[in-house]
Amino acid sequence: MSVGLKETSSPLLVIQDLEISFPGPEPSVGVRSASLSVAPGTITGLVGESGSGKSLTCRSVNRLIPRPGEITNGHVAFDGRDVLAMSKKELRKFRATEVGMIFQDPFTALNPTLRIGKQLAETLRVNLGLSNAEAKARSIELLEQVDIPEAGKRYSSYPHELSGGMRQRVMIALAVAAGPKLLIADEATTALDVTTQAQILKLLLRLRDETGMAVLFVSHDMGVIAQICDGINVMYGGYVVEAGPADAILRSPQHPYTRALLQSIPSIEQARSGQRRAGIPGRPPERGEKLPGCPFVPRCRYATEPCTSVPMTLESAGPAQLTACPIKRFGTGRATVSSDQRQLAR
């Protein structure tokens, strides 16, 4: 499991050996055996290409797996409680007050026919039992907290009257309205331009510092993950293939897939000239595709025979760093990510 900065703290969230399946005429498995943890007050990254199982994993935290998907194995514990054993009543309260969630596309997540103030106020009335006047006042405070200018005026705006960045700020306000212990940001900056993306990342860092909430930050962009996260979990083919403190993973990646993600970050010279680095050759496995051993083998230049049968279990690869790669200490003695790439990622 991943280890954040606060190593002495008991984890707030623990996901262990998670499996998410999709039954039907052509059954498939979206998450095969994923394990990760999030410590209180830390920002933990979950990174990987589209289809790796990131969104399904984070949706397991509040049991929002899209049908016909279902959790078929594993454990999800939050603050010492078994999430998978919660009753419907317990789950409603849990979703309303303890875990907030923001999504990639705020335009589809917000109701286009309702003013943003009404959506915020309704959330506060239902989840916290506030009166109409209290809910309105608190809604305006929340809009101010997420740096929306003229919050009192914007309270009466419809979603289409706001920019993409402002809509995402509204989504963040909705997600933190009840003071959750954990905020799940699922590709929350992907649809935004670079400048707005940087502003949202800065906002999330400030909210973490002000409120002490933990953040599970999901992205396919290792560069973004490197800017904000204390710990990193790398996901591929339904497995977490590497986990550890962000500095350790950026300095010495221990799985070939992690290394490939980092090498896809352009060097400083390439960024200045507008050049793009080549992506990872090949394609990620499709959901339901059965690959024995490590699912990265077809794309891995270092694959050997043991890789086709290795169990995908995380094992120690250094202080607080875990990897599912059978080549122990992968980064040692091999070409590593250049220092300027690490600087650019940071």
Alpha carbon distance, N-terminus to C-terminus of the chain = 23
Task: Please tell me whether residues 279 and 149 are part of one structural domain.
Answer: no
Q: How far apart are CA 37 and CA 57, in angstroms?
A: 12
Q: What angle do CA 71, 72, 77 make, to 5 degrees?
A: 55
Assigned domain for 1 exists: no
Task: Please tell me the predicted confidence (pLDDT) of residue 270.
Answer: 62
Task: Please tell me the predicted confidence (pLDDT) of residue 32.
Answer: 92
Q: How far apart are CA 4 and CA 321, in angstroms?
A: 11
Assigned domain for 2 exists: no
Task: Please tell me whether residues 200 and 291 are part of one structural domain.
Answer: yes
Task: Please tell me whether residues 168 and 268 are part of one structural domain.
Answer: no
- Report which secondary-structure segment, H or E, holds 188: none
Q: How far apart are CA 24 and CA 22, in angstroms?
A: 7
Task: Please tell me the predicted confidence (pLDDT) of residue 275.
Answer: 64
Q: How far apart are CA 172 and CA 174, in angstroms?
A: 5
Check which CATH number belongs to the domain holding 245 and give it. Answer: 3.40.50.300
Q: Quote the tokens at residue 65.
A: 């797996």
Q: Quote the tokens at residue 125.
A: 């009335």
Assigned domain for 6 exists: no
Q: Which of 179, 206, 232 is the last residue of a domain?
A: 179
Task: Please tell me whether residues 28 and 90 are part of one structural domain.
Answer: yes
Residue range of the domain that includes 296: 13-98+181-345
Q: Which of 179, 214, 241 is the last residue of a domain?
A: 179
The torsion angle over the Cα atoms of residues 132, 134, 140 and 141, rounded to 10 degrees, is: -160
Assigned domain for 274 exists: yes
Q: How far apart are CA 267 and CA 280, in angstroms?
A: 16
79 DSSP 8-state letter: T
Question: Of 280, 304, 296, which is closest to residue 240 (Cα–Cα)?
Answer: 296
Task: Please tell me the predicted confidence (pLDDT) of residue 179.
Answer: 94
Q: Which of 179, 209, 234 is the last residue of a domain?
A: 179
> φ and ψ at 46, to 5 degrees?
-125, 110
Task: Please tell me the predicted confidence (pLDDT) of residue 192.
Answer: 85
Task: Please tell me whether residues 194 and 293 are part of one structural domain.
Answer: yes
Task: Please tell me whether residues 284 and 192 are part of one structural domain.
Answer: yes
Taking 70 as the pLDDT cut, the residues of the chain under it are: 1-9, 267-278, 328-346
* pTM attached to this predicted model: 0.89
Task: Please tell me the predicted confidence (pLDDT) of residue 180.
Answer: 96
Task: Please tell me whether residues 218 and 307 are part of one structural domain.
Answer: yes
Total number of domains in the chain: 2
Task: Please tell me the predicted confidence (pLDDT) of residue 122.
Answer: 95
